[in-house]
Structure 1
Amino acid sequence: MNENGLTSLDQLAATGATDFDIRIARDGVWFYRGTPINRIPLVKLFSTVLRRDNDGEFWLQTPVERGRITVEDAPFTAVEVNANGAGRNQTVVFRTNLDALVTVDADHPIHVTFDSKTGEPSPYVTVRDNLDALILRAVFYELVELGEERDGGDGVVLGVWSQGEFFPLGGI
């Protein structure tokens, strides 16, 4: 961060941007010019240079080129969950659609937003650097099965423990 409080990505964004015709759909599929990118090793490579700035814009950034891309929801999806231990000693680990393993902890929290009209939950886990994975519905149901009830400020909440921290999933 520089003396103005900007990161290098924010500084680059301020100087102008190229828009890449790349879109990540809500289900985690990457598209180039409207066509799915079926080469998973290429998608994994692109994901290593994926960044999100403080304004919520998504970028592919290399040392020589950068461009804004469209992300419909989250750039990754959590396709599998595993838990070891129980209670405060439990560790929850997600596998993403690009085979990254994410251990839920203070730096990689679970957070849930709710649709204001339908009340439908959208659960996420932070993968890295302000980038989230949408937890797929079937995986979320597995996570709920691991949940414990706990008294919260507004009533009883259901949540899961991981790495000694409690992560609320929603009210009961």
Structure 2
Amino acid sequence: MDLTSLQQQLEQPRLAPVEQWDPPFCGDLPLRIDAQGRWWYQDGEIARPGLIKLFASVMLCQGGAYFLQTPAEKVRIQVEDAPFIAIASRWQPTATGPQLWFTTNLQDSVPLSQDYPLLLRRYAGQSLPYLSLWRGLSARLHRNLYYQLLDEAELRPTESGTDAILHSAGAAYLLAQAE
């Protein structure tokens, strides 16, 4: 194993094994993640990063609904858009070419790859890029990061306009599509 591979493994988020648990559904919890990635319990914002990371480690999305799942219980929470925001990026060398890594608002590092691709989704009347994550979750690219990556993207003319393509570790990903 080379140093880059070891570093990448250490940067991956540590997740609880929720796939191994089958607890009963216990109802709705008044927990909400707003469109800016802020976490709220009832009417108060959760300001403790450690508590947010703990909740995020047991979160999953099933059938478009978001849940926190422990061995003992499963509760539904509300997510306005995506539970996470990709706030920064960096390039790292790999055997198949430079790979783009994203950092989320929870400081998780995620490689742009076949396991974690970019997808375009509609939100608030716009087509926006989202990084697909584990257990059906996603991170919307922050607007500043999106514009930074547009400068780095390959522009491809299409019949309807121009698409923006990012290349990461030898694969191509659609960042923006002409509408």
Return the TM-score normalized by structure 2: 0.78
Runs (4+) off by over 3 Å: 150-156
Give the equivalent residue in structure 2 for 1:148. Answer: 154
Which residues in structure 2 correspond to 1:10-29 (within 5 Å)?
16-29=25-38
Q: Unmatched 5+ residue regions in structure 2?
A: 1-18
Q: Unmatched 5+ residue regions in structure 1?
A: 1-6
Q: Secondary structure at the match of 2:149?
A: helix
Q: How many residues align?
A: 159
Deviation (angstroms), 1:164:
1.2
Cα contact 1:81–1:142 (8 A) shared by 2:
no
The reply to whether residue 171 of structure 1 matches residue 177 of structure 2 is: yes
Deviation (angstroms), 1:168:
1.1
Instruction: For 1:167 and 1:66, locate their aligned partners in 2 and report how far apart those are by CA, in whole Å.
Output: 34
Give the equivalent residue in structure 1 for 2:109. Answer: 101
Which residues in structure 2 correspond to 1:25-44 (within 5 Å)?
25-44=34-53
Give the equivalent residue in structure 1 for 2:56. Answer: 47
Deviation (angstroms), 1:101:
0.2
Cα contact 2:34–2:79 (8 A) shared by 1:
yes
Q: Deviation per CA, 1:131-150: give whole Å up to 9, x if none.
A: 00011100101111110123
The counterpart of 1:137, out of the listed 132, 140, 143, is 143
Cα root mean square deviation, aligned: 2.6
Give the equivalent residue in structure 2 for 1:158. Answer: 164
Cα contact 2:89–2:145 (8 A) shared by 1:
yes
The reply to whether residue 62 of structure 1 matches residue 70 of structure 2 is: yes
Deviation (angstroms), 1:16:
4.7
Q: Percent identity?
A: 30
Q: 1:17 to 1:75 in 2, by over 3 A?
A: same
Return the TM-score normalized by structure 1: 0.81
Instruction: For 1:61 and 1:136, locate their aligned partners in 2 and report how far apart those are by CA, in whole Å.
Output: 27
